[in-house]
């Protein structure tokens, strides 16, 4: 096979031939490497974002034409958002964008025909839900922050911008923009701090009528576990208990309050400090009795260490 006249080497491929004549015909094409991969990545992300918004706008235009919306569409995509939801006035979902699935873990066809309350759980504020319902009915634009839950049970705070749409027919729709609201470390520590009260009964005391040290440690580990899990919302296991100081005996017939607080956060582990306070049942007297620290590691379903989702 006859050799090509010119050869452009734009990669690491190199054609070697024993013929010096062939090698003499090689021409190296000079490349201009990217000065920063970040520039290329940012540009690519912008292109994808523009295409996504164009697709979403087209979907909304189809609804606008079908239902004769009297509301301009440009405002809908002006604010930053992750998920878009279109509902009927009774909050039944009729359309979502792809970002909805990424945020919630549920496919769009699962959500269609349901109300957003299938994403809510034990920490979702009933007051906020009632406020949203009343404001949607009033026809005014507003924003709220609500605790939602992903398909895997993970809790997250969601900032919701809600815009009731005016249409000329007797039907109406409501447009929702959702964006995750991330807490910083300090906010997560404050939110996860756990307090637990217990009464010291005779079946938990020794022959000195004071709480067993082992029982105190068990209660501390329980509170530490709850604190670590509320902070991370991941599977957590105890890997060590650091120094535990028993400052005062805990007598029978008192209350104890255990307070767990995250004190240090690493890549896959965290430390929780637990304090036990004694309270007299029939007076306001209160003092610290025990203090200790516990270390936890996040694990996956195979019980392998994983990074904390922070």
Domain assignment present for residue 3? The answer is no
Q: Which positions ≥6 away from 160 have C-beta within 8 Å?
A: 132, 143, 144, 145, 146, 176, 177, 178
Question: Are 106 and 98 within 8 A, CB to CB?
Answer: no
Cα 229 to Cα 227: distance, rounded to the nearest angstrom: 5
Domain assignment present for residue 115? The answer is yes
Domain boundary among 154, 182, 210: 182
Domain assignment present for residue 42? The answer is no
Cα 211 to Cα 96: distance, rounded to the nearest angstrom: 56
- Residues 220, 280, single domain; the answer is yes
- The CATH number of whichever domain residue 177 belongs to comes to 3.30.450.20
User: 77-107 b/e with 16+ CB inside 10 Å = b?
Assistant: beeebbbbbbbeeebebebbbebbbebbebe
pLDDT in tens, 243-265: 899 999 999 999 999 999 999 99
- Stretch among 46-55, 188-197, 263-272 having the lowest mean pLDDT: 46-55
- Residues 226, 162, single domain; the answer is no
- Residues 131, 89, single domain; the answer is yes
Cα 274 to Cα 285: distance, rounded to the nearest angstrom: 20
Q: Average pLDDT of 197-222?
A: 95
- Residues 191, 178, single domain; the answer is no
How many domains does the chain fold into?
2
Question: Are 144 and 160 within 8 A, CB to CB?
Answer: yes
- Residues 129, 176, single domain; the answer is yes
pTM of the model: 0.49
Name the average pLDDT for the chain.
Answer: 81
Domain boundary among 151, 182, 213: 182
pLDDT of residue 60: 83
Q: Which domain holds residue 135?
A: 54-182
Domain assignment present for residue 30? The answer is no
- The CATH number of whichever domain residue 270 belongs to comes to 3.10.129.10
């Amino acid at each position: 096979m006859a050799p090509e006249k010119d050869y452009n080497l734009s990669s690491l491929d190199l054609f070697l031939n024993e013929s010096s004549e062939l090698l003499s015909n090689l021409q190296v094409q000079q490349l201009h490497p990217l000065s920063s991969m970040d520039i290329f990545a940012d540009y690519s992300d912008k292109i994808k974002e523009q295409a996504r918004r164009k697709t979403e706008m087209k979907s909304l235009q189809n609804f606008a034409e079908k239902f004769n919306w009297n509301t301009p569409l440009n405002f809908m995509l002006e604010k930053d958002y992750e998920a878009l939801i279109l509902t009927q006035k009774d909050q039944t979902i009729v359309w979502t964008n792809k970002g909805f699935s990424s945020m919630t873990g549920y496919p769009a066809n699962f959500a269609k025909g349901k109300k957003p309350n299938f994403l809510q759980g034990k920490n979702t504020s009933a007051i906020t839900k009632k406020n949203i319902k009343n404001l949607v009915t009033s026809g005014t634009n507003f924003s709220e922050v609500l605790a939602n839950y992903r398909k895997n049970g993970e809790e997250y705070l969601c900032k919701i911008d809600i815009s009731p749409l005016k249409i000329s027919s007797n039907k109406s729709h409501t447009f929702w923009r959702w964006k995750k609201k991330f807490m910083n470390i300090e906010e997560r520590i404050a939110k996860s701090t756990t307090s637990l009260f217990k009464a010291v009964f005779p079946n938990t005391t020794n022959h000195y009528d004071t709480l067993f040290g082992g029982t105190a440690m068990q209660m501390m580990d329980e509170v530490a576990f709850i604190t670590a899990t509320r902070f991370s919302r991941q599977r957590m296991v105890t890997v060590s208990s650091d120094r535990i100081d028993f400052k005062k005996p805990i007598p029978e017939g008192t209350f104890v309050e255990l307070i767990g607080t995250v004190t240090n956060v690493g890549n896959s582990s965290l430390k929780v400090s637990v304090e036990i306070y004694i309270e007299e049942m029939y007076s306001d007297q209160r003092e610290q009795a025990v203090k200790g620290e516990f270390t936890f590691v996040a694990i996956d379903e195979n019980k392998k260490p994983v990074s904390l989702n922070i």
